[in-house]
Structures are given as C-alpha cells and as structure tokens.
C-alpha cells in the first residue's frame, strides 16, 4: 500500500497509483470539518511536485489583460477569503449503482468520497475582474498541472462565468488553516462550492476565459450524466448532461452494513448534502425499509456550502432490519427510493435512499 504522508492509516485505499482513498464512514462522521489527514483524495493522474517559488498561474482568453501571477503576488494583490465548503465527488455512492449493474473502470466508492473543510484563498471573481474578463466570455476553463492518460493537456474542466464570479468560488492555497497538501493541489487549487468535486481543479496551471465550455476530456466526456439505458459502447458523448450541482442525498454513517446490534434503542447518525448551496430542510429515517419514517434531528448550524450532520433515534426489533435514510433540500427536492432508477454507466451522482441492513439480536 502506498503511504501518503499525513494521511491517516485508517484510509481505505481504492487505488494506490493514482492514489485514491477515503476514510471509514464512522470516522468521517466524527467532525463537521474533516481533518486533512482523513479527507478523501480523488486523483486521475500523477501528483505533480510543484516548486511554490517558481509557480506561475496564467489568466488569458477573452480578457483585457493577460495575467501571470506568482503565489506571492496572488496573496499580496488580492484580499483573502475563507469559505467552509463540502467537496463531494460525482462518483460518491457508486458502489450501490454497481450492485444494480456492474460499472467498468470506475472506482467503487462507498459514501466516503466527500469531505468538508475551510478553504482560504482569493475569490476567482477578483482575479477575473483584475484581468478584465469580457462579456463574450461565458465559461472559465481551469487546467491542472497533473499528467493524465486521457487528455494530452492534463486534467481540466470549465464552469460558467456567472458561477466563477460568485464570491464562494476560490483559488485556495489553504485547507483547514494550513497550506494544501500535495495530494490536495499544492500550491493552488480551485474550490467550486456547490458543484461536483471534478470542477475543483487541483494544481491549477491556467485560467482561460472562453465563449464555449472546455473540450477537456473531463468536461466533454467524463463527468456527464446519461440515462439508465445508455451504455459505454453506444454513447453519443455530446448528448449527455454536464454535471454541475449534485442532488440532495442523506447517508447513514453509523451503524455500518451487517453490524450486529442489541434490540431496543439505537441512535443512527449520518450526513446530508445538497449541491447549489441548497440547505438540508429535513432528514427522515426508517427502521423497516421505508414503510414508517422518523424525523431526524439536524445537528449544529447550517452553513451555506457545507453538509449537515444528523442523528435519529430508532427502536429496533430482533431480525434483519433495513435502516433507510432520505433527505429533502430547501428547494423541495427529495431522493428516489431505488438506485436502479438513477443508474448510469459512469456511476455518477447516486442519490437513491441510503440503506444499511443490520442484524438485531
Ligand atoms: N484536479 C486535478 N488537477 N486532477 C484531478 O484528478 N480530481 C477532481 C478534483 N480536481 C482532480 C482535480 C475530482 S474528480 C475531485 S472529486 C476532487 O478534485 C477531489 O479533491 P480532493 O482529492 O482534494 O478531495
């Protein structure tokens, strides 16, 4: 197993190279701000070794002034901003889709490809204003320094200019108050709160303002959503939906699948998250597979771009008991009962009711 400095030994390593890993769910649920050593990592290629002193970020495309900024210049010329935000991979909860129909060549994440941190950096909008982004520019292309097999340019993507100008979107150099770890994008990454994690490009090399979305593989092929009947062999990539804001989803962190529990009272805990800055309006939990529901308590305060923890009290009778959780967000959106209805051949944004079956004795 590869050892990534400062990552916790409890991390479940999904692939050693590229390094992809996440924490056990019960550990993830222990802290509203995920400690850096437990924060999941999703890498498509190499982790570049970047010399912070030699690092330059370029800003070009439909701008009045091209910029070439060192890290020091970025920190000196723009006011810092801090946002508490959840990053959730579009592949989070793919394991349940895999159980419906196998998904080839993708990481079978359980529900651990998510984490919340405070991110400190400079608003992307301030940098775009300094460059004089023109009206013709509708998209902001973001490109990383890593080498990936699928695109000669490296890992990249784009976000609408309107989102890029929102104050929560940061060029971040700190995570939970410390400089980014190499695996999280040192020295500079984008953080796009409310969007799927793929748009939060790490090891940011360049920003390019354009009239069209990026043609990078990770924008034009990967991270698109297709309906359940579409297969990899027959896909028309231009027809897919570009994934942006993940749908509302509640996840049970404790108890774990297959756990043996004593009959009687159980406190079940979990997290819930919705993209687009939507809040968690309510979480409900069932101890009988979804016939009867109990309201869960939402824990702590709501933060605009962060997940919400919840807990619920159930009474368990002996037998095999399917515990189920579902949430509704502030826009009134809920979750579908079955993963089959949201299955897609890349295994993205599964938000079916989350189920954990326990043995009660
Ligand atoms: N940026 C680059 N340059 N290369 C990558 O492979 N992975 C993306 C995104 N940014 C990726 C990237 C994906 S799919 C996710 S979910 C998040 O980074 C994960 O961020 P983390 O590894 O810091 O948790």
Q: From ligand 1's centre to the CA of 155, what distance in Å?
A: 9
Q: Which of 8, 171, 202 has most ligand 1 atoms within 8 Å of its beta carbon, as the pocket-test mutant?
A: 202
Put the strands of the sheet holding 156-160 in their side by side order: 67-70, 56-61, 204-210, 139-144, 156-160
Which atom of ligand 1 is nearest the CA belonging to 43?
Answer: 6
Q: From ligand 1's centre to the CA of 148, what distance in Å?
A: 12
Q: From ligand 1's centre to the CA of 175, what distance in Å?
A: 14
112 in contact with ligand 1, CB cutoff 6 A: no
| CA angle, residues 303, 174, 130, in degrees to nearest 5 | 90
Question: What is the model's pLDDT at position 19?
Answer: 95
DSSP code at position 215:
-
Token representation of residue 247:
């749908």
63 in contact with ligand 1, CB cutoff 6 A: no
The residue whose C-alpha atom lies closest to atom 4 belonging to ligand 1 is 155
| β-bridge mates for residue 329, sequence order | 280
271 in contact with ligand 1, CB cutoff 6 A: no
Closest to 180 measured CA to CA, from 45, 83, 47, 36: 36
Q: From ligand 1's centre to the CA of 196, what distance in Å?
A: 10
43 in contact with ligand 1, CB cutoff 6 A: yes
109 in contact with ligand 1, CB cutoff 6 A: no
CA distances, 52 to each of 49, 95, 176, 204 (Å): 9, 37, 19, 12
For the chain, which residues score pLDDT lower than 50? 1
Q: Which of 7, 23, 44, 174 has most ligand 1 atoms within 8 Å of its beta carbon, as the pocket-test mutant?
A: 44
Q: From ligand 1's centre to the CA of 282, what distance in Å?
A: 29
40 in contact with ligand 1, CB cutoff 6 A: yes
Which atom of ligand 1 is nearest the CA belonging to 204?
Answer: 3
Which atom of ligand 1 is nearest the CA belonging to 145?
Answer: 3
Question: What is the model's pLDDT at position 6?
Answer: 78
Cβ(94)–Cβ(343) below 8 Å: no
Closest to 218 measured CA to CA, from 164, 271, 292, 142: 142
Which atom of ligand 1 is nearest the CA belonging to 190?
Answer: 10
44 in contact with ligand 1, CB cutoff 6 A: yes
* CA 147/CA 158 separation, integer angstroms: 18
144 in contact with ligand 1, CB cutoff 6 A: yes
Question: What is the model's pLDDT at position 3?
Answer: 59
Instruction: Give, for 253, the enclosing helix (H) or strand (E).
Output: strand 249-254
217 in contact with ligand 1, CB cutoff 6 A: no
Question: What is the model's pLDDT at position 136?
Answer: 84
* CA 111/CA 89 separation, integer angstroms: 10
Token representation of residue 358:
């326990």
* CA 68/CA 193 separation, integer angstroms: 25
State CA 90 to chain mean position distance. Answer: 6
Closest to 108 measured CA to CA, from 118, 120, 119, 100: 100
State CA 294 to chain mean position distance. Answer: 28
Q: From ligand 1's centre to the CA of 223, what distance in Å?
A: 12
184 in contact with ligand 1, CB cutoff 6 A: yes
Q: From ligand 1's centre to the CA of 255, what distance in Å?
A: 29
């Amino acid at each position: 197993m590869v050892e990534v400095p400062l990552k916790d030994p409890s991390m479940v390593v999904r692939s050693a190279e590229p390094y992809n890993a996440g924490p056990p769910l019960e550990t993830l649920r222990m802290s509203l701000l995920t400690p850096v050593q437990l924060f999941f990592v999703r890498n498509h290629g190499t982790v570049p070794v970047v010399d912070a002193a030699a690092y330059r970020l370029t800003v070009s495309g439909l701008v009045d002034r091209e910029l070439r900024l060192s890290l020091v210049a970025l920190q000196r010329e723009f006011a810092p901003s801090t946002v508490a935000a959840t990053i959730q991979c579009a592949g989070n909860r793919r394991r349940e889709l895999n159980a419906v129909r196998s998904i080839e060549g993708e990481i079978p994440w359980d529900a651990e490809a998510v984490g919340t941190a405070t991110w400190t950096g400079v608003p992307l909008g301030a940098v775009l204003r300094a460059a004089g982004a023109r009206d013709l520019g509708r998209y902001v292309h973001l490109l990383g320094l890593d080498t990936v097999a699928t695109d000669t340019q490296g890992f990249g993507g784009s976000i609408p200019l309107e989102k890029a100008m929102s104050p929560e979107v940061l060029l971040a150099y700190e995570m939970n108050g410390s400089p980014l770890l190499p695996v999280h994008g040192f020295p500079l990454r984008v953080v796009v709160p409310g969007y799927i994690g793929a748009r939060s490009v790490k090891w940011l090399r360049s920003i390019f303002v354009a009239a069209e979305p990026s043609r990078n593989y990770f924008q034009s092929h990967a991270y698109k959503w297709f309906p359940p009947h579409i297969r990899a062999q027959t896909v028309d990539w231009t027809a897919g939906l570009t994934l942006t804001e993940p749908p509302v989803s509640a996840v049970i962190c404790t108890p774990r699948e297959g756990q043996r529990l004593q009959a009687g009272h159980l406190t079940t805990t979990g997290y819930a998250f919705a993209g687009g800055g939507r809040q968690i309006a309510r979480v409900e939990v069932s101890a009988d597979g979804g016939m009867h529901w109990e309201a869960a308590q939402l824990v702590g305060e709501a933060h605009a771009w962060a997940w919400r923890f919840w807990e619920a009290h159930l009474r368990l009778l002996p037998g095999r008991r399917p515990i189920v959780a579902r949430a509704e967000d502030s826009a009134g959106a809920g979750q579908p009962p079955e993963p089959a209805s949201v299955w897609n051949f890349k295994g993205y944004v599964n938000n079916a009711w989350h189920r954990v079956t326990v043995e009660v004795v």
